A and B are shown apart, each in its own frame.
Chain A
Amino acid sequence: MTGLRKWALAGALALGSAGAFAQSYPTKQITMIVPFAAGGPTDVIARIVSDHMSKTLGQPIIIENVGGAGGTTGSTRAAKAAPDGYTIMMGHMGTHGAAPGLYPNIAYNPQTDFEPVGLAAGTPILIVARKDFPAKDLKEFMAYVKANEAKVNNADAGPGSVSNITCILLHDMLKVNPVTIPYQGTGPLLNDLVSGKIDYACDQIVNLTPQLKAGTIKAYAVAMPARAKALPDVPTSTEGGLPDYQVSAWNAIFAPKGTPKDMVAKLNDALVKALADPATKGKLEDLGGIVPDAQGASSAALAELVKRENARWIPLLKSKVKQ
């Protein structure tokens, strides 16, 4: 054995555990932290996607719901978890896009404390109103809200929620500041929207589709370039005359910073396979989700997305939200 080979061997041994591990990875169950309560939109997406991913990986993926502080509690735990590939998380637009603008003492940086694995699904945002709200379409809606700024009641699911920040963006574009009534979650909000106590709200398509189909509330626009498959009658914000209002509550998988690249690649591969599976894709689309292609679900694309979302939300929210 030459000196060089000896060194190489020693080096290989030193790196050995990580290398050998990565090759057979995963050898035990993987924990996926969902930073919200079980049953919520992010949790449902995590369960649908992880169910198929575990088939590809050959190991079960256990969902651990660590709720609290707008998802930042669970995200902090994931950021600080051992980067061994056995703890990953399902983050979303709030935890990895907007949170630094909302929480001044946030204990993680969405860009530097995580290895992006890939985007799982985009969830379109709708502008909805009580069924007898005077405005007929988005143009009338914008005019009405501007004219009756002091009279209308907007509502959201509390500071930092998707419904909160997406309506902040809408109000910023319309240059209005109407009264916003916070609820403890989307359920109670929807209840008061259906019974006509509040005028309008912005929220994720998942929660709204059944109500819209039943006609208990109405929608003015979906904030994306193309109409949603689940609600083909709802015009886009571009069609409605507010083309700049493009926003989606995306859900994506992240691993703690320092997770070996090959493990991230394996996880991404499992994710891409899950999203290509017709049954999994169908379930996500039934929820109104936009399922990305392999390119859109790549780690690089997610890194870009987080950067873009941070740049958009952090300055806006820092100026709008009282802290």
Chain B
Amino acid sequence: MEIFNNLINGFAVVFQTVPVDLWPGAGSLVMKMPMNIILCLIGALIGTLIGVLPGIGPIATIAMLLPITYKLDPTGALIMLAGIYYGAQYGGSTTAILVNLPGEASSVVTALDGHQMAKKGRAGAALGIAAIGSFVAGTFGTILIALLAVPLTKVAQAFGAADYFSLMVLGLVCTIVLASGSVLKAIAMIFLGLLLSTIGTDSFDGMQRMTFGYAPLSDGLEFVTLAMGVFGFAEILRNLEREESRDLVEQKVTNLMPTKEDFKEAAPAVARGTLLGSILGILPGGGAVLAAFGAYALEKKLAKNPNEFGKGAIRGVAGPESANNAAAQTSFIPLLTLGIPPNAVMAIMVGAMIIKGIVPGPQIMEKQPDLFWGLIASMWVGNLMLVIINLPLIGLWVRLLRVPYRMLFPAILIFCAIGVYSINNQPFDVVLTAFFGLVGYFLLKMGFEPAPMLVAFVLGKIMEEKLRQAMLFSRGNPWVFFDFTKNPISAVLMIVSIIMLILAVLPVLRKKRDEVFVE
């Protein structure tokens, strides 16, 4: 078994020891140390920490830490950066659950039920299931990469602009499911999200759209700005209007770990989320986001009583968390097999490799087998470390909720402001976040939910790009999306979307729906 040998080789790279001079200059304190595993641990730890700090995402962190990696060997550097990436992916859910602050697009969905669980005193269970679900998903994703990276690349490459667009349409139709309140309001929020995504420079002809001639708006809104505003700041405003009776639960925090029933309830959701996430993660661009809320929509559809969702259903945490971690793993595939970075974080990693003199390309697997298989092995080790780091930390996080709110909220605000500033080093972004805080507060008061808006905002950008690309390829023929011979994937996705949409608007079903969705 060649793959088996390769994996053993990979683990050997991860566990290899190198002599390290502990006291440079003295020369006598040279010890053999498993550097790669230490770097993996450091990466996962840093990743978790920055993931927990709202707003400071993996991109800013990896960019800041890039100079440190100059001194490391390429494999070690990459292992550490990868650790930061999935550590941050995981850490982001911690704040989403505890204080309703999703730092990443994919943890918006986790906040929906995770924070509700925290409010009911079950933060420990939510964090625990998120950690365990992520580990299961990460393990599966790693195995999938080791076994099927090359054929999966072919699948991803079969996806053209039209197919992407149709996938996004299906995604938006599913977004309606995200809402736990009125369907009409959810649709309104989806369109608001799409509108917000069009702010900035037109990516096709460079025209300024809705920027009012104001330069800082020319790159559009940042996801973090919007999410921190409508989720974080708005939540703080709402908590402050009630005197010290904040949402964050100080009363009985039941058990720190998920119970047996929780596991029984969550296990199938973890399995489904892992599968969905692994598939969608391969697609460059919005894979992870689509995976997270796709998994949520799936769980809600399959649930016996979907009205539990949005009120603290453990499956609503387990599914999306597994999905986004599986997607975080499989999103490495295009980078590993083609050398093409599928997202901004990976682009920085490629930059790091280039600085080290390795220009990643399709031949990386043959030319740098140690790097390739070492990185894959380190992914699994990193995921294991995340569980080891995070399970004991749950107690600490839950205790954090007992900090008086008057002390906690200024800290959250400051960290948010730092995080938002760190994205572009632009003070204007912080002001914008405050503005969206007010907007979010208004939306909360009027009973509009921000989650569909955020998802639509993220999907909107990709959707517009793919729609216009597909129209250019087809020279303006809109039927290209339904063309079974040329774009079979797109045609199938479109038909599924239409069926789902019809089901949503059929008056009879609509009535039944409203019974389910309106509290």
Residues of the A chain whose Cβ atoms lie less than 8 Å from the Cβ of B133: none
- Which parts of A14-43 form the interface with B (CB within 8 Å)? 37-40, 43
Is the pair B207, A322 in contact by a Cβ cutoff of 8 Å?
Answer: yes
Do A209 and B361 contact each other (CB < 8 Å), given the known contacts A39-B348, A105-B215?
A: yes
Selected from A38, A180, A182, A195, the residue in CB contact (under 8 A) with B351 is A38
A287 to B355, CA, bound (A): 9
Is the pair B339, A210 in contact by a Cβ cutoff of 8 Å?
Answer: yes
Is the pair B363, A210 in contact by a Cβ cutoff of 8 Å?
Answer: yes
A66 to B338, CA, bound (A): 28
Is the pair B363, A191 in contact by a Cβ cutoff of 8 Å?
Answer: no
Residues of the B chain whose Cβ atoms lie less than 8 Å from the Cβ of A181: 469, 472-473
Residues of the B chain whose Cβ atoms lie less than 8 Å from the Cβ of A63: 66-67
Q: Quick check: is B498 within 8 A (CB to CB) of the other chain? A: no
- Which residues of chain A have a CB within 8 Å of any CB of chain B? 37-40, 43-44, 47-48, 51, 63-69, 73, 76, 102, 105, 107, 153, 158-160, 179-185, 187-188, 190-192, 194-195, 197, 206, 209-211, 213-214, 216, 283, 286-287, 321-323
Within the complex, the shortest CB–CB distance from A226 to chain B, in Å, comes to 21
Is the pair B425, A69 in contact by a Cβ cutoff of 8 Å?
Answer: no
Selected from A43, A67, A286, the residue in CB contact (under 8 A) with B424 is A67
Q: Quick check: is B362 within 8 A (CB to CB) of the other chain? A: yes
Is the pair B361, A187 in contact by a Cβ cutoff of 8 Å?
Answer: no
Is the pair B219, A73 in contact by a Cβ cutoff of 8 Å?
Answer: yes
Is the pair B334, A68 in contact by a Cβ cutoff of 8 Å?
Answer: no
A184 to B284, CA, bound (A): 11
- 8 pairs of residues in contact across A and B, judged by CB atoms under 8 Å: A37-B63, A39-B341, A63-B67, A66-B424, A197-B161, A206-B354, A209-B359, A214-B361
Residues of the A chain whose Cβ atoms lie less than 8 Å from the Cβ of B160: 192, 197
Residues of the B chain whose Cβ atoms lie less than 8 Å from the Cβ of A194: 157, 338, 340, 362
Is the pair A44, B338 in contact by a Cβ cutoff of 8 Å?
Answer: no
Within the complex, the shortest CB–CB distance from A78 to chain B, in Å, comes to 12
Within the complex, the shortest CB–CB distance from B458 to chain A, in Å, comes to 13
Is the pair A40, B347 in contact by a Cβ cutoff of 8 Å?
Answer: yes
For B357-372 the 0/1 string (1 means CB < 8 A from A) is: 1011111100000000
A76 to B426, CA, bound (A): 13
- Which parts of B341-391 form the interface with A (CB within 8 Å)? 341-342, 344, 347-352, 354-355, 357, 359-364
Is the pair A184, B465 in contact by a Cβ cutoff of 8 Å?
Answer: yes
Do A211 and B472 contact each other (CB < 8 Å), given the known contacts A37-B344, A44-B351, A195-B157?
A: no
Nearest A residue to B66, CB-CB: A38
- Which residues of chain B have a CB within 8 Å of any CB of chain A? 59, 62-63, 66-67, 70, 157-158, 160-161, 201-207, 213, 215-216, 218-219, 284-285, 334, 338-342, 344, 347-352, 354-355, 357, 359-364, 424-426, 465, 469, 472-473, 475
Residues of the B chain whose Cβ atoms lie less than 8 Å from the Cβ of A206: 354, 359
Is the pair A182, B215 in contact by a Cβ cutoff of 8 Å?
Answer: no
Is the pair A39, B351 in contact by a Cβ cutoff of 8 Å?
Answer: yes
Selected from B204, B218, B338, the residue in CB contact (under 8 A) with A69 is B218
Is the pair B348, A216 in contact by a Cβ cutoff of 8 Å?
Answer: no
Do A210 and B473 contact each other (CB < 8 Å), given the known contacts A69-B215, A188-B285, A194-B157?
A: no
Is the pair A43, B285 in contact by a Cβ cutoff of 8 Å?
Answer: no
A44 to B284, CA, bound (A): 23
Residues of the B chain whose Cβ atoms lie less than 8 Å from the Cβ of A105: 213, 215
Is the pair B66, A64 in contact by a Cβ cutoff of 8 Å?
Answer: no
Residues of the A chain whose Cβ atoms lie less than 8 Å from the Cβ of B362: 194, 210-211, 214, 216
Selected from B70, B203, B348, B352, the residue in CB contact (under 8 A) with A184 is B203
Do A43 and B351 contact each other (CB < 8 Å), given the known contacts A68-B218, A68-B219, A187-B342?
A: yes
Within the complex, the shortest CB–CB distance from B480 to chain A, in Å, comes to 13
Do A69 and B363 contact each other (CB < 8 Å), given the known contacts A187-B342, A321-B206?
A: no
A44 to B349, CA, bound (A): 11
A43 to B351, CA, bound (A): 8
Nearest A residue to B461, CB-CB: A184
A192 to B364, CA, bound (A): 19
Is the pair B361, A39 in contact by a Cβ cutoff of 8 Å?
Answer: no
Is the pair B424, A68 in contact by a Cβ cutoff of 8 Å?
Answer: yes
Nearest A residue to B285, CB-CB: A188
Is the pair A286, B473 in contact by a Cβ cutoff of 8 Å?
Answer: no
Is the pair A66, B469 in contact by a Cβ cutoff of 8 Å?
Answer: no
Selected from B285, B355, B465, the residue in CB contact (under 8 A) with A44 is B355
Is the pair B475, A214 in contact by a Cβ cutoff of 8 Å?
Answer: no
Within the complex, the shortest CB–CB distance from B355 to chain A, in Å, comes to 6
Residues of the B chain whose Cβ atoms lie less than 8 Å from the Cβ of A211: 339, 361-362
Residue from B338, B349, B352, B363 having most chain A Cβ neighbours under 10 A: B338
Within the complex, the shortest CB–CB distance from A187 to chain B, in Å, comes to 5
Do A190 and B357 contact each other (CB < 8 Å), given the known contacts A39-B349, A159-B204?
A: no
Selected from B203, B357, B425, B473, the residue in CB contact (under 8 A) with A182 is B203
Is the pair A153, B473 in contact by a Cβ cutoff of 8 Å?
Answer: yes
Do A322 and B205 contact each other (CB < 8 Å), given the known contacts A39-B348, A69-B219, A194-B157?
A: yes
Do A102 and B348 contact each other (CB < 8 Å), given the known contacts A69-B218, A209-B361?
A: no
Give me the 7 closest cross-chain CB pairs, A-B, nearest first. A210-B361, A39-B351, A159-B206, A39-B348, A38-B63, A195-B157, A214-B362
Residues of the B chain whose Cβ atoms lie less than 8 Å from the Cβ of A44: 351, 354-355
Residues of the A chain whose Cβ atoms lie less than 8 Å from the Cβ of B352: 39
Is the pair B355, A179 in contact by a Cβ cutoff of 8 Å?
Answer: no
Selected from B213, B355, B465, the residue in CB contact (under 8 A) with A48 is B355
A269 to B339, CA, bound (A): 36
A76 to B425, CA, bound (A): 13
Residue from B66, B202, B206, B215 having most chain A Cβ neighbours under 10 A: B206
